[in-house]
Amino acid sequence: MPDQNCLQVRRASVLSRWVFFRFTASLVIIFFCSKNSAQLCTSNVGDPVIKINFGQNDITSSPPYVPSAGYTYTSSPCPNDGFYTITNRTSNCFGNTWHTILSDHTGGGNFLLINAAYVAGDVFLTTISGLCPNTSYEISAWMMNVVRNFNTIKPEMIFRIEKPDGTILAFYEPGQLPVSIEPKWEQYGFVFTSPPDNSPVVLRITDTWPGGVGNDFAIDDIAFRPCGTKITASIQANADTVNICEGNSDKYTLVGNTSTVYPSPVYQWQLSKDSGSTWHDIAGATGDSYIRQPTAEAGNYSYRLTVVDASVASNVNCRIGSNVVVINVYPKPIVDAGPDRVYLKGNPVTISATAQGDNISYYWEPTLYMSDPNSLSPTVSPPSDIMYTLSAQSARGCTNKDSVLVKYAPGIFVPNAFTPNDDGVNDQWRVTSLDPGTGAEVNVFNRWGQVVYHSSGGTVSWDGRLNGNPQPAGVYVYLIIFKKGNLPNMKGLVTLIR
C-alpha cells in the first residue's frame, strides 16, 4: 500500500481499468452460466478431498497457485503492489496500516498474502482432479481484508469453476471483504455439482478490483468437500456426548439416520481418537447402527457414519459424513495405599500412599488409630490387625481405591527351628513380624561363616537351600540388622532339622 498522497492520482487511472474489467467479466459470466447461491453446504459434508493450506514450513520458492503473469512472489512478509507471499505472520507493514496477523486461521500454518496489482486479474488458479462424478461439492476459503483503513479499496473476489477449455461451470461472488477493527478470518463458499464424466475442473479466483490504495488480502485453507443429504448419528437413549469413566462396562448403540436419496446406500462407521483430525474405518461396522463395546483405555472417542451410493463406493471422495457423536472415557485416579505393614507395639507405622489424577479428592476408611486421615502418609498404631482403604475421586467423578493391611505384633518372633522336608508342616523358616518400613536386612550363616540365606527389606522365608541345594541339618546363626527406625539389631540361633 503506497503513501496516501498517491490516492487521487491512482484512483483516476485504475477506475477506467476496473470498469472495463468488471463489465467484461460480468458479460462472460452471464453469457455462460448462472450465479451460485452464496452459501456453504447446509447438509452434511464429507472430508476435504482437496485442501490447500499453503503448508506449515518456510517457503523457499514461488508456489504454483498464483499466476505469474499478474503477480510476483516475494519472501517479504509485507509484499508491495503486485507482489504476494506465503507466510505464517505479518506485522508493521506500511506504517502499520495493515493488521498484525500472527497466524493462519487454524493457528498452525501459512497463508497466502496478496497486495493487489494495479490491473485486476486472477490471484489463484489450480486444476482439480479425482472428484466424484455428478456430486455436489462445497468449495470454501477463509479470507481476510488486511487493511485497517475504512476509506480504501476493498477486495472483491469472483470464484469460478471451469472446464480445462475455459467453459464456466459455476461462479460465486462473496462480495467485498469488509474492513475490521481487529484481524478476523471469515469463511466464504458455495456449492457446485461436478461434471458427470468426472473430468478435471479448474478453480479460478479473480480479484475484480485494482490495487494501489487498499485491496490487500489474505487467503487460507481452500477446500473441496462433498455436500450431500442430511445424515444424523446419535447415541441411543443418550445425548450426543457421553462421559464415562475408565473401566465402564456399558455398551452403547450408535444409530444413523439417512434420507432415501441413495438407491443403494453403503454405510461405514468411523472412529477418531484425536477429536476428528483423522478418521479410520471400523472393521465390520457397515450397517446403519453400531454397538460400541467397552473401551479399556481412557481417551476421546469420536464416531460418525459415512454413506455413499454403491455405484461410486470405490471412490472415498464420494463419502458424506454425519455429525459427530463422542464418548469420553476419563481415567480413574491412580491409587496406591502402599505395601502391607506390621505395627510393632510401641513403634507406630507411617503409611506411604500415593493418589494421582485430575484434581482429585481422597479419604481413608476407617480412620481409627490414624494420626491424620487427610494425609497420604498418616501414622497408625492399631491394637489389632486392621485394613485401611484409601479412596480417591477425580473432578470427573471417576473413582478408585486401594487397601493396605496393618498387622499388629507385640514383638518380633523369630522361630528357633524348622523342618524343610516337604511335608507341608514347618517347611520354611519365616519371620513374619518384620515391618517393611524398618529396612530389615536378614542374613543366615552356616558354621563356617558362609551366608546361606539373605533378605533385604522384603519377606523373610528360607526353605533350607542355598542355590537350590539342600543344606545339612545343624545349627545356623541369624543376624537381623534394622537400617531404619530405633529397633535394636537381633542375633540368634536356628536349628535346621532333617
For the chain, what are the domain ranges? 4-228, 231-330, 334-409, 417-496
**CATH code linked to domain 4-228:** 2.60.120.260
Quote the CA–CA distance of 248 and 252 in Å, as a whole number: 11
The yes-or-no verdict on residue 24 having pLDDT over 80 is no
Query: How far from chain centre, in Å, is Cα 171?
Result: 37
pLDDT the model gives residue 204: 96
Determine whether domain 231-330 maps to CATH 2.60.40.10. yes
The more confidently predicted of residues 7 and 498 is 498
Residue of higher predicted confidence among 148 and 315 = 148
Is the pLDDT at 17 greater than 60, yes or no? no
Q: Which of 238, 239, 235, 269 is nearest to 255 (CA)?
A: 235
Give the C-alpha separation, 371 to 47, whole Å. Answer: 60
SS3 198: coil
C-alpha–C-alpha distance, residues 490 and 412, integer Å:
10
Q: What is the dihedral of CA 292, 320, 275, 324, to 10 degrees?
A: -60
Q: What is the pLDDT of residue 135?
A: 87
Contacts of 201 (CB under 8 A, 6+ apart): 127, 128, 131, 161, 162, 163, 164, 169, 194, 195
In the chain the first and final C-alpha atoms are separated, in Å, by: 103
Q: Residue 302 in contact with residue 280, Cβ under 8 Å?
A: no
Give the pLDDT score at 60. 65
Q: What is the mean pLDDT of the chain?
A: 89
pLDDT at 460 over 50: yes
Instruction: Name the CATH topology of 334-409.
Output: Immunoglobulin-like (2.60.40)
Reported as a single tens digit per residue, the pLDDT across 221-263 is: 999 998 877 889 999 999 999 999 999 999 999 999 886 667 7
| CA distance linking residue 189 with residue 187, whole number of Å | 7
Same fold, 231-330 and 334-409: yes
By the 10 Å C-beta count (0-12 exposed, 13-18 middle, 19+ buried), 252 is classed as buried
* Residue 11's pLDDT band (cuts 50, 70, 90): very low
The CATH number of domain 417-496 is 2.60.40 = yes
Altogether, the residues listed in the chain come to a count of 498
pLDDT at 47 (0 to 100): 86
Predicted model pTM: 0.69
Q: What is the pLDDT of residue 8?
A: 35
Q: Quick one: what percent of the chain has pLDDT higher than 70? A: 91
> 358 - beta bridge partners?
none
CA distances from 240 to 137, 234, 243, 275, 373 (A): 27, 6, 10, 14, 41
